Amino acid sequence: MPSTTRRDLLAALGVGAALSGCLSVGSASNDLGTVDGKWPMDGRDAGHARRVDAGPSEPTRVWRTEFDDVRGVRTPSLADGDLYVPADAVSGTARSRYRLYALSAGDGELRWQVPLRVQPNGAPAVSPDRIVVGAKRSTERGRVVCFNPRYGEEEWLNDVAARLTAPPTVAEGVVYVGDWRGRVHALGALAGDVRWTRRIDAGDGGRTFPNAVAVHDGTLYLGSASGNTGVVALDADTGEEHWRVSTGAVTEGPVVTEDLVVVRSHGMVTALDTDGQHRWTVNVLEPDPRAVAVGDERVFVPAGDRLYAIDRDGEEAWRHEVDDGRVGTPTVAGDAVVFRDGDRGLTARAVTDGRERWTVSTDGGGQPIVTDGALFQSSSSGVIARGEN
């Protein structure tokens, strides 16, 4: 646990100390006001469905924050009015090269920054009073690190004897991570204690679990890069196996909602019931590493320069093909789907028929985080925020 002296010092230094190493550049309003929405982990929720109730209409840039000496910024997480942003700084040592920044979502002001010491493998997972980051410590070891959201103090760390290749998932006070030696680990979010560890795949490595595990209604879902394993469902409390279905090597997913489990195996997209029964498989032809989004009416699948909208019964409803570049990772925002439309920028299209709602140019290349009235996107050296026009 961090010392009281350290916390008191951070409190005394306040915002002035935190602002060193950060430059904020805003547009006319420079403030989104109170941001009530949340996107606390990869894919927004523990099922990673990438869906929210609503998003902004015709968003315009409100603020932009640039970090000094940074050469790469990962997708942030959003909780309780703050953004938590992992970044790769320009530094000669691994201990100071990777950092975690906390920004106010309203105006982009820097609250604090801390070194991560090891390379983060995706967006942080945020639960009450905890920020959890998964890290690629080496080819043989991984690390899960937890911070306090108030000042960024490190609360605990847990080293895993295998590389972690996907960001953590937090559900009901438990952190879940899979490793590339075929195991899944459950840790207490409060103190980092090991709840259970279970070996799922007998393979010796090779990104066995390349994506974040999904949790829904007390069940943990994993997608294995081993074609012999496919999708596995476990009891989230004990690690006991419920079922497994061979789907081919899972390259993206699982994404889990109330009644659907969706995984991708290169160009094949498969939907299962939550009890493992097969619903449908669709071939979108082109393999693509980007995540799918699952809404109430459609499953949205990026594939090269196309976005496919698939009905819940597996039939194609519509597709959109970009003119230049590649389609980006989609997010369902109410009755619209938001994604990067190649070189045109970010666009929103109607869920039902794909008609264009709005398009804005952007130099941000990261996956968009969408909330009701606001949209956040990482750039190569910072974060861009957009709000209602």
Which of the 8 DSSP states describes residue 292? Answer: P
Give the model's pLDDT for residue 6. 36
Structure confidence at residue 116 (pLDDT): 87
CA 143 – CA 112 distance, rounded (Å) = 22
Q: Are 51 and 292 in contact (CB under 8 A)?
A: no
Q: What pLDDT was estimated at residue 96? A: 64
Alpha-carbon torsion (18, 20, 21, 27), positive or negative: positive
The per-residue pLDDT for 389 is 65
Question: What pLDDT is recorded for position 68?
Answer: 84
Helices of type H across the chain: 4-18, 94-97
Instruction: Determine the pLDDT at residue 168.
Output: 96
Q: What's the CATH code, domain 4-387?
A: 2.130.10.10
Give the C-alpha separation, 104 to 81, whole Å: 6
Tallying the residues shown for the chain, one arrives at 389
Type of residue at 90: V
- CA separation, residue 81 to residues 35, 105, 188, 250 (Å): 5, 5, 24, 34
Tokens 């809404």, residue located: 295
Q: Distance of alpha carbon 336 from its chain centroid, rounded? A: 20
Low-confidence ranges of the chain (pLDDT < 70): 1-29, 90-96, 137-139, 202-207, 227, 364, 389
pLDDT at 28: 43
Q: What is the DSSP string of 317-384?
A: EEEEE-SSS-B---EEETTEEEEEBGGG-EEEEETTT--EEEEE--S--SPPEEETTEEEEE-SSEEE
How far is 272 from 304, CA to CA, in rounded Å? 24
Contacts for 13-18 with beta carbons within 8 Å, 24 or more apart? 15/109, 15/110, 15/111, 18/110, 18/111, 18/112, 18/113
Q: Please report, for the chain, the start and end positions of each structural domain, with discontinuous segments joined by +.
A: 4-387
Phi/psi at 174 (5° precision): -125, 140
Task: Say which amino acid occupies 336.
Answer: A
Contact 262, 270 (CB under 8 A): yes
> How many CA within 13 A on the CB side of residue 52?
23
Residue 196's Cβ-count burial label (10 Å; 0-12, 13-18, 19+) is: middle
Backbone angles phi, psi at 9, to 5 degrees: -65, -45
Q: Look at the block and give the residue holding tokens 């230049």.
A: 324
Please tell me what DSSP assigns to residue 92.
S
d(CA 6, CA 334): 44
- Which residue do the tokens 């869906």 mark? 51
Read off the pTM: 0.90
pLDDT for the residue 144: 95
CA dihedral 353, 377, 41, 276 (to 10 degrees): 30
